[in-house]
Structure 1
Amino acid sequence: MSSPDPAQLSAQLRGVLEPVVTGAGLEIDAVEVRTAGRRHAVKLVVDLPDGATATGIDLDDIARLSRTAAAELDPHEHLIEGSYTLEVTSPGIDRPLTRPRHWKRNFLRLASIELAGGESLEARIGRADDDGVQVAVPGRKQPELRELAYADITRARVQVEFKAPPNAEAALLDPNHGATDRSAGTDGANEENR
């Protein structure tokens, strides 16, 4: 019996791992399977659920989930033909912004955004809802507030910054910007070999 294609295998593994991840108080962001011959690499990316008050996932939580997920996969080894490596991780700063919650969690961060019409811009992320996001686009004198529909965004990623956002951009997006906590979450990873 040969293993299913990576996309099909990812969906099957997601079904197996979902109860374990939700039981840990997290949610699955992605299950990725890469295959090289008879060897597979399974990457389980987990994130905090919507409405979580924490800003990141603790490395100890990642390690515990890694052990639990590996134990859950053992009885389902028939899904993966051959040996595999399991990596459990939280999303990194370079994760593409593809869901409304990604935008909401990156409030006041700078993002590189490509639009369907070919326009590229760097803008600061503001309020986001289920349909779109407000952004502050830097200008010569003042930043410009724009509303972007997710349907018009082809690609977006958070940019790494080492300084606070400019006051004019932060004030445009959040009048209470002085009280905003910009602490970053933990990007931890833990691997289990099987």
Structure 2
Amino acid sequence: MAFPGEAELVTLITPVTQSCGLDIEGVKVTRAGRKSVVGIFVDSDIRPDLDLLEQVSQEVSMLLDAAEERGEVNLGAGYTLEVSTPGVDAPLTLPRHWRRNRGRLVELLEDGQKSTWRVGALSPDETAVVLVRPVKKDLEMRVLEFSENVRAVVEIEFSNPPAAETELTGLDYDQALTWQEDNK
């Protein structure tokens, strides 16, 4: 009975997270001597609340305990289970991350240059996203292809976004492209 790797844990807990409507965003196992900490990061299109995270934690804990009793995994002399969301500092790496942060500000790092944009609609095939930002007294829109080498992280915003930006990020993808063409 070996200490499970992250991939093995994902396979083991996926039925629980899927039944709760959650995606696994990451698993981190930290061994501390004979004990270990198992961190599971989950999210969904509707932000999970604390009750749902507690439910997932209880179900995953029962699942891991049962797997240990059957001799399928060994988490050490004892383990601590932590179930949470990835947090706002997690990079946006998948189309679902962009969809879940529509309307929010993101900081892009491209070729060593930082810029701040507001997230709009995903393309229908989920290969690109519309981004909007103010430029002087106007708005600039661009389409970011996910194949581009860009790092993006959500920016914390303490005020309501400007109405014009909210209106543009609320357009669907084709409407946004039409707006962009009309405002060249």
Q: TM-score, normalised by structure 2?
A: 0.80
Post-superposition Cα deviations, 1:117-145, rounded to whole Å, max 9, x if no partner, equal: 22321111111232111111221121210
How many residues matched? 166
RMSD of equivalent CA atoms: 2.1
Q: Are 2:40 and 1:44 equivalent residues in the alignment?
A: yes
Q: Distance in 2 between matches of 1:162 and 1:10?
A: 36
- Correspondence for 1:56: 47
- Correspondence for 1:147: 143
Q: Distance in 2 between matches of 1:111 and 1:39?
A: 38
- Correspondence for 1:125: 119
Unaligned runs of 5+ in 2: 173-184
Check the 8 A contact 2:120/2:171 in 1, yes or no. Answer: no
Query: For 2:135, what is the secondary structure of its paired residue?
Result: coil
**Aligned match of 2:17 in 8, 15, 21?**
21
Shift of 1:75: 2.7
Post-superposition Cα deviations, 1:138-176, rounded to whole Å, max 9, x if no partner, equal: 211212101111222432111111111112322333359
Check the 8 A contact 1:134/1:145 in 2, yes or no. Answer: yes
Check the 8 A contact 1:113/1:153 in 2, yes or no. Answer: no
List aligned pairs for 1:63-74, cutoff 5 A.
Answer: 63-74=54-65
Q: Distance in 2 between matches of 1:2 and 1:19?
A: 21
**Aligned match of 1:100 in 80, 95, 98?**
95
Q: Distance in 2 between matches of 1:23 and 1:172?
A: 35
Q: Kindly tell me: are residues 150 and 164 of structure 1, through their superposed partners in 2, closer, same or farther at Cα, counting changes over 3 Å?
A: same
Check the 8 A contact 2:35/2:79 in 1, yes or no. Answer: yes
Q: Are 2:78 and 1:83 equivalent residues in the alignment?
A: yes
Higher RCO (C-alpha under 8 Å, 6+ residues apart): 1
Q: Distance in 2 between matches of 1:2 and 1:23?
A: 27
The range that moved more, 26-35 or 76-85, is: 76-85
Query: For 1:138, what is the secondary structure of its paired residue?
Result: strand
- Correspondence for 1:190: none
- Correspondence for 1:3: 3
Which residue identity does 1:102 align to in structure 2?
H
**Aligned match of 1:135 in 131, 145, 162?**
131
Which residue identity does 2:22 align to in structure 1?
L
Q: Distance in 2 between matches of 1:23 and 1:170?
A: 33
Q: TM-score, normalised by structure 1?
A: 0.76
Unaligned runs of 5+ in 1: 177-194
Post-superposition Cα deviations, 1:3-30, rounded to whole Å, max 9, x if no partner, equal: 36xxxx1100111111111122322221
| Runs of 4+ deviating beyond 4 Å | none
Which residue identity does 2:94 align to in structure 1?
R
Query: For 1:143, what is the secondary structure of its paired residue?
Result: strand
Shift of 1:101: 0.8
